[in-house]
Amino acid sequence: MKTAPVVFNNTVLRDGHQSLAATRMTTAQMLPACAELDSLGFGALETWGGATIDSCLRYLGENPFERLGTLKKAAPKTPQMMLLRGQNIVQYTSFPDDVFEAFVAATAARGLDMFRVFDALNDVRNLGTAIRAVKKAGRHAQGAICYTISPVHTVANFLKLADTIAALGCDSICIKDMAGLIQPEIARALVKGIKERTKLPVVLHSHDTAGLAAASYHAATQAGVDWIDTSIAPFANGTGQPDTLRMLAVLEGLERCPTYDRATLISLGKHFEKVYTELSKFTSPANERTDTATLIYQVPGGMLSNFRNQLKEQKMDGQLEAVLAEIPYVRECLGWIPLVTPTSQIVGTQAMLNVKFGRWKNIAQPTVDVLLGKYGATPGEVDADLLAAVEKKSGQKRSAERQADLLTPRMPKLKEELRAKGFPDTDEMAVLHAMFPQELDKLLKPTPTSAEIAPVRIAPPVAALHPQPAGSSAHYSLTLGGHTYPVAVEELGS
């Protein structure tokens, strides 16, 4: 019996430019491509989520909800998809369920069709509210597994995780390989196993950072994967997804090779080449090439390129290899957490602190929060001595509760704050105010400098480390996702 062709999703309007151009593509640069993208019959166009909402507000002076509505009108036939960070929404901290539910409802009302939901720790407790909210809105809920490699991340354990995610009621499952680590035979085994056990459609999402994605997509296609994510060069390959034309060539000859109009893809490539040139100050050759060091350090490509700039700022540019070598050690101590926003930034910054000051001499507050369970349950056991020292110094015990259960509903208060500022008190404005209050203020009350493009930062950003004045109780402060934390929270010694 003839099997159905694999379906391509296209990420050029979200992950493509997030991975290769610091999420700086504007809506105006997207619109000329929308009709052709819509004509190709992709399974979905990824247009929203991830860092795009932050970037719209922080750098581009755009209302992200307006972008979503505009793109939906410009490409009405193809389902539109977003990446959602579980209970973190698109930020770095957990939000109460009422804020989350309002966000999903407002996003669905703007035309978003498919919500890909992940949790950085693969803690399924942080997916349940999202999946229920998406289903209530009548949209497609896709539960995601963050793929990584460690002693506790085995094929058998990933399959058990897929069972648990399926039980939450999602419509499909995504294998989210954010660092481009998945090998062809592992992809084959996971796709086959998940489909057999859950009977749900499966999508494989990968990055070509280590050069494996195309081969793994080929193996997954043979194993029966339903969708794979591709992009359009030059917003493809390297730290992005494989190029669509390239993947058609890789799959040619297979019974499941799909058909997408090559002339239209070539036309789109010419448009995006122009856009790539326009965004040249946000692009880098380091993002465009294969980096096999990813297989050792498991650092997502966008973070790796930005890491070099951060180390230069700290006068540590000659210590890149030492910091990268420290990352697996920090990961192990923190319970083998996957490296994806926000955990990649947390682990990377702590590795930098360990190299700069000595191991655990200075611990950033987000690291403390991971150890205390404030981001969720870690996949493995955290280092017992480190946890004991942090509990003693902080006066807190590690929590086993879902953090959102400890949060007070905020929507009424958020709307009250908006009215006090003279801003609209819609659900859209309220959820943006919850996540990005300063950026929303600048959008709604623009100043002469608010439209200026900020200095280059390759998304996702590594946290910025700032020296503090003499006499301060903290040696450094850490800026992560718009929040500032003291770094020298714990002085643990050797």
Percent of the chain with pLDDT over 90: 80
Tens digits of per-residue pLDDT, 407-431? 999 999 999 999 999 999 999 999 9
Name the token pair of 276. Answer: 């790539």
Query: pLDDT tens-digit profile of 194-234?
Result: 999 999 999 999 999 999 999 999 999 999 999 999 999 99
Tens of pLDDT along 325-335?
999 999 999 99
Domains of the chain with CATH codes: 7-285 (3.20.20.70), 293-404 (1.10.472.90)
Question: Mean of the per-residue pLDDT values for the chain?
Answer: 90
In sequence order, what are the residues at sequence separation of 6 or more whose Cβ sits closer than 8 angstroms to the Cβ of residue 433?
Answer: 414, 417, 418, 423, 440
At 371, give phi and psi (nearest 5°): -60, -35
With a cut of 80, say whether residue 473 has pLDDT above it.
no
What string of DSSP letters covers 371-404?
HTTTT---SSPPPHHHHHHHHHHHT-----S-GG
Tokens coding 421: 């500022």
pLDDT at 312: 78
Rounded-to-integer distance, Cα 12 and Cα 55, Å: 16
* Average pLDDT of the segment spanning 479-494: 41
6-19 pLDDT, tens digit per residue, is: 999 999 999 999 99
Check: CB of residue 118 under 8 Å from CB of residue 84. Answer: yes
251-293: per-residue pLDDT in tens? 999 999 999 999 999 999 999 999 999 999 999 888 898 888 8
Return the pLDDT at 145: 98
In this structure, of 159-173, 281-295, 376-390, the range with the lowest mean pLDDT score is: 281-295
**Range in 90-99, 380-389, 456-465 the model is least confident about:** 456-465
Structure-token pair, residue 323 = 């910091």
- State residue 286's pLDDT score: 82
For the record, the structure tokens of 60 come out as 């581009």
Residue 491 neighbours by CB under 8 Å, 6+ apart: 361, 362, 393
Across the range 439-444, mean pLDDT stands at 96
